[in-house]
Amino acid sequence: MTSAVAVSSKPSPRGSLSGKRILLIIGGGIAAYKALDLIRRLRERGAAVRVVMTSAAQEFVTTLSVGALSADHVFTELFDRNDEHDVGHIRLSREADLLVVAPATADLMAKLANGHANDLASTVLLATDKKVLLAPAMNPKMWSHTATRRNRATLAKDGIAFVGPAKGEMAESNEAGEGRMAEPLEIVAAIEAMLDSRPKPLAGRRIIVTSGPTHEPIDPVRYIANRSSGKQGHAIAAALAKLGADVRLVSGPVTIADPAGVITTHVQT
């Protein structure tokens, strides 16, 4: 079972998603503005993008902006007189090759994990038989909350894929930690990996990779360490995941970012 998607650091070629149909669900959060760039990046690569917006998402970005970038109608209502003659939410969920939720809020994750369907976004997610990719974005305390961790584990068990979140500064003043939505190009790379039909020779394998230095304490002030940067270990973990392995990375204190699509545990010793 693989719940995270490995991505390549190489630039994506134009046309790499030619003919692919992406249904993007935009959740309500400050990271919703990144969805505009995500739409543009996907269309640059030849994908057709349709968008569902939650009511909360519309507080951060407008349907006008989203519609202009996607060149398609933006769907916001579960009950729409113009679309419900053919059960619009079912049609939306079935016509796409992949469903992407970005940003995936704690609320959307909770709804999907527990099978709730009380608006268009959650109904589409419940009605689909296609792959789903979530790009979580929320306050670090919300991401680390027991309920959110439980929901993430449930979704991973159900076969839902994740990209991010990353660590960094939050929109809130003096807030930092894990919870930033993955950058649009990282999400694009994850989408490309999920839609890549080429065989993955390490599919079904579970691999642990250790990377970076350790800090072995001598006393409360001093410690013994080595100069490992972690670059090689992180690159190996990313490459293994790209080949289909379910990779867990155990990383010492490094200054480089966690490899995208790999579940990373940080340690000191």
Query: Residue 137 and residue 164: Cα distance in Å, rounded?
Result: 8
Q: Answer yes or no: 226 catalytic.
A: yes
Q: Are the CB atoms for 112 and 93 separated by under 8 Å? A: no
How far is residue 91 from each of residues 4, 96, 120, 130, 251, measured CA to CA in Å? 27, 9, 12, 12, 44
Mark out the alpha helices in 115-179 (DSSP H runs).
120-127, 140-144, 146-157
Query: Residue 107 and residue 135: Cα distance in Å, rounded?
Result: 13
Which tokens is 188 given?
Answer: 């694009």
Q: At what angle do helices 63-70 and 33-44 cross, to 10 degrees?
A: 10
Q: Are the CB atoms for 57 and 32 separated by under 8 Å? A: yes
Amino acid at 15: G
Which tokens is 68 given?
Answer: 């202009």
Active site residues: 226
